[in-house]
Structure formats: structure tokens, C-alpha cells
Amino acid sequence: MKRTLCILGALCILGLVGCDDDPNYDCETREDCANRGDCVSGVCECDTGYFGIHCSTCDWTAGYVSDGADGCVPDSCEDLDDDGYDGYDETLCLLGDDECDDDPNNWTMGGCSDCVDVDGDGHGTACDLGPDCDDADVSIWVDCNACIDQDDDGHGVNCSDGPDCNDNDPNVHRGCFRLWYWGDFDTNGTFEVANQFYPGGAQTKLLLTGLDTSGILGGVAVSPDGGHVAVAAFDASGMAMLNLYTTDATGTPLTLAAATTVGHHMGDPSFSPDGNWVAFTWDASTTSSQLYVVPVGGGTAQVVSPTPGGADCDVTYYRWAPSQGANQHIAFVGDVDTDGHFALWGVEVTGASPMAAEIVSTAEATTLGVQPLLGFDDADRVYFISDFEEMGTKRLFRSNLDGTGRDQVASTVLTNGQGEASVTTFGLNDAGTMLAFSADSPAVGLNQVYIIDLAVGDSDRVSNVTSTPAPAGDHFGPGENLPIVWAPDDDYLAVISDWPLDASDMDDAYALYVLPTLNNGGERLVGLPDSASQDVQEVVFAPSGLQVFLRGDLVADENAELFLTENLWSVGVDPSSIRIEDVPTGGDVLGFFVVLAP
């Protein structure tokens, strides 16, 4: 009897029998079985769902739980979120273990509110899947500082080999970028903005909400991070406006500036290096175009150029200095004081009242003055070509943006048979440490290209394309104000030039030449040298440095299209074989940018 009592006592503690059951009591009636079973030969045979000597306990082994009113019912809690865990309720669903049965990523017994999962990946604070080391990225929850490489090519997020711009293709990890361009390239007279992703070349068009696409665009700019596009154009009523669009074409564009009367024009937008400002030209209150800046978040556009001295006194060219500091600077050229006298100014635009400083004054500017081409070195000194010291002799100068330290770049002083050679054009590398320029030296009228390591100062000639002298009073070589472009690794230069290769080449037919910077040579890659007025107009290296994008009217005269060279070594290429954006008759690609993909 003692052993039986011990066993029943243990069962009582475990809940397998009712603790009020009397092990010495034999039943006689159903009432003795709590009306939950029949008494058969002195033993209660419990109804379904009940258990114990007196049928006083819900048979949880068969899936029954208390109904809260001294009865037992089947546990009806279902797995509503299909996560493999039944729902739990302290009254009816005691057998479940998911108190958060509407979230398949969470089955905590602490309740749904305990799991804080910002990015919806199931991981977070007090979540059953565990913590999240980056709760703003749905693809990351562990090892935030570890290499995340989806395609196993060694490149990815936090990987030692560097980032991966396409982590779904093991053959692609570097050089991904977008080519942005604009014009009436699909329908003559309908202006659009589009981009192509590389590698691949698939085109996406920007939805120009709020603009009249039948009116010519005043200019387009892409932010340094590739996230926004600024477009200067007109609305349906003919009002000039500057709109800011997200590059994914979502949301409503932000209007940064808008005219209040017709007859005015906005143009040439450009983002500051830090991406916080947009500069643009606008004849807001006069007949002259002035230089304005406006924050990308919106606000009042403010003029940063001097008050025009009269009608048609315009800012004609400008560039942001490349510095990434808190103070953003612009250098700009224009005949702002006197029509036809092109001077140069520098201005810090982020102050409360920007005041432009003269670098070359209107009084100094002669017939030519300062040419519309500027560049910057690594000290933010501006480089420019001007004949302000001696009319007719174009020299390359540099200056601080406040006008101090102005001097001629010494190593660009070259000679020919008639005296000092004139500088035609130039370009600095991305780091601002190397300078390329062209000058008609050593032969009069035949412009050659030279490079200078600015830390050393000596110039070295790198072009040797032709020795054909130009006709008297003319020049062969790089076009004026067409910048010399450096490859990303500084190994090559892209030059737009009319160097003739034989007697059949027509003068002033501008083609693409590529020059190595480590020796004396050069090759003509693309161009129509035997065709008058069909020219390469603009060139940019692809980020790989092994191809060149170019814009020009190389297939149909007066229709500018886009092209991409196959490499830097295939010479004399037929332009129609490398065209990546053709246009209808009368249409044009008006400009383009290459922006690295994030």
C-alpha cells in the first residue's frame, strides 16, 4: 500500500492524476467519477478528454486543455503563420509554443512586442532567429564586418579584394558604372534623359515629371553618388525651372528654382563635389546669365557672380573646385563687366554673402581674355589659358581662387621658329598631380602634346602622330577648348585633334587619338578625317581605362550620337560598328556623364 501511495503521489505532482483523488476509494456511481466517466467494477472509465482515478484532470496527452469553466476541450490552436509552431494562449492553447502566431520569423513566448526587427529579416533584439548586427539591411544580420560575397569571386561587402558592383556574377566585380546622356535621341524634338548600366548596356529613361519635353533641355547634371539628376528646362507654360529627380524615378521631383515670367532661361547645372549644392546659370532679373547656387535639399537660389555691367554680359563657363571640405568653391569665366572681355573669378559659395574675387580682371582681359576651359590641381589652384599678358600669345596660368599666387606655369613656356609657342588646350589628371597641354612647338602651326609631373616641373612630349606642317596661318593638333582627358591610371591620354595622317585628310576634321604617356607616339582610333565637319565632339574614358566613350556626328552629319571603342588599340575603327546610341534625322545626344555604380 505504501508503494502504491508513493506512485500515486508522484503522479499527482506530475499532474497525471488529480491530487484530490483518493486511491483507497472505489467508485459506485458516475457522480463518483465527477460525471466525466462511468464507474465500471469500482473503477472510473473516463470520458474522452479526461484522466485520473476520479477523471478530474484534462488528458493533455491526447491534446485536451481546460476550457476555463471546469471542463476539458481539444487544444484547437493552429499554426496560423506556418512557421511550424502552434499558437499559444494561457487559457485555451497551453500546448502551443508560439505567442506571436502572425509573424513567421518570430515564435517567442515573450510576445510579439519583444522582437524588435527594423528591416524585417526576422533577426533583431529579442527575436527567436537571433540578434541582427545591421538592422537596416535585410541581407545582413551576422558578421557585419565579415566579407559578404554572394558569387564567390573574392569581392563583396567588407571583402579584402574590394567591393563587387555585381555580386551575382563571378566574372564581374569591377568597373560597373552608368552612362547618363540626354537629347532628342529617340524622337526628333522630344527631349529625354536616359542611362545605360555597364556591363550590359540596358537602357532606363528618367521620367521628367513637370517638364515640357518638347522644349530643349538647358542642361543635365548627375550627383557624385549617382543618386540624383538635376535638369534645367521649361514647364508647360514656358517658365524656366530647375528640377531635382531621384535616379530611380520615384517620388515627386523637387523644384530647386523656377522663373515667374516667360522669356528667361536656366542652364548648365552642376553638382558640388560634396553633392550638397547645385550651380546653374540663369538670366533671372536681367538679359544676362548670372551664376547661381542652391542647396540640393531646397531653399533660395542665390547669385554668386558680380552684377552684370550691361546687356549680354554673361557667365559663360564655370567649374567647381574638387576639394571635399566644408567650403565649396567655383571658378567662372565671363564677360560680366564688359561685353566681349572675358575675365576670371573665384568664389566660395557656402558663405552667407558670397563675394567673387577677381583672378583676371576685365581691364586685363583683351580680345581673347580667358578661354572657356578650367582645371584644378591638388592644391585647388585653378588653371586657365589667356592672352591677357600679351595679345595673341596664349599662355597657361594658374592661381589661387582668391586671386593670389597667379603665375604662368613655367614648364609650359616653349618656343618655335617665331618665338614663344601658344598653348591650345590642356587637362589635369583626377589627382591633380599631372598636367597635359598642347602647344605649337617645336614647329609653328603643328601642336604637340606634352605632360608635366607638377611635383617635378619638367615637360615631356608624348605625341608623335604626324610631321605634316599646317598651312600658313593655320594649325594642326588638338582643338581649342576641347580638354585633354587622362585615363584613370594615367597611362593614356584621349585627345580630340585634326592631325593629318596623309594628304587626303581634310583640315579641321576632328578625330579621337589615344596617346601613351610613357613614350612618344599616338594612334587615331575613331574619326572621319576625309569628311568635312563630321567630328568627335566629346570623349571620356570608361572607368576601366581600357575603352573610351565619345560623342560626335560620325555617321550622319549634324546628328550627334554616342560611341564606345572596343579597346585602345584597334585603329581606324568604322564609327557605325561601335555606336551605342543612334538618333533619328535631326536628333542629337547633347551631352553625357559616366558615373560609377554604387
Give me the pLDDT at residue 14, please: 43
Nearest to 465 by CA among 416, 413, 426, 505: 505
Report the distance separating Cα 554 and Cα 188, nearest Å. Answer: 18
Take residue 311 and report the three cell numbers written for it. 546687356
Query: What pLDDT is recorded for position 9?
Result: 43
Q: What's the pLDDT score for residue 121? A: 78
> Radius of gyration over alpha carbons of the chain, in Å?
38
Q: Are 28 and 37 in contact (CB under 8 A)?
A: no
Give the pLDDT confidence score for residue 3 in this predicted structure: 31
How is 77-141 classified by DSSP, letter by letter?
---TT-SS--B-BTTTBTT--BS-TT-TT---TT-GGG-B-SSSSS-SBT-TT---S-TT-TT-S
Query: d(Cα 399, Cα 406) in Å, to the nearest integer?
Result: 4
Residue whose C-alpha is closest to residue 185's, from 202, 203, 199: 203
Is there a contact between 87 and 78 (Cβ–Cβ < 8 Å)? yes
Question: Which strands form 559-564's sheet, in the order they lie side by side?
Answer: 536-541, 548-556, 559-564, 579-581
- Are the CB atoms for 374 and 383 separated by under 8 Å? yes
What's the confidence (pLDDT) of residue 91? 63
Threshold 0.75, pTM exceeds: no
Query: Cell triple for residue 571?
Result: 585603329
Is residue 578 within 8 A of residue 206, CB to CB? The reply is no
The residues with which 460 forms a beta bridge, in sequence order, are 451
Buried residues in 327-360 as b, exposed as e (16+ CB within 10 A): ebbbbbbbbbbbeebbbbbbbbbbeeebebbbbb
**Mapped to the 3 state alphabet, what secondary structure does 334-345 carry?**
ECCCCCCCCEEE
Residues whose CB falls within 8 Å of the CB of residue 59, separated by 6 or more in sequence, listed in order: 46, 48, 49, 50, 51, 72
Cell numbers 568597373 label which residue?
175
List per-block mean pLDDT (blocks of 10 residues) for the chain, which spans 598 residues: 37 44 69 92 92 87 78 78 76 71 68 70 74 80 77 76 71 76 95 88 87 91 93 95 86 91 95 96 91 95 94 95 88 95 95 91 88 97 95 94 96 94 97 97 96 95 93 91 96 96 88 95 93 92 92 94 94 95 96 85
Backbone φ and ψ of 95, nearest 5°: -85, -10
Identify the H or E element spanning 572: none
All three cell numbers of 478: 588638338
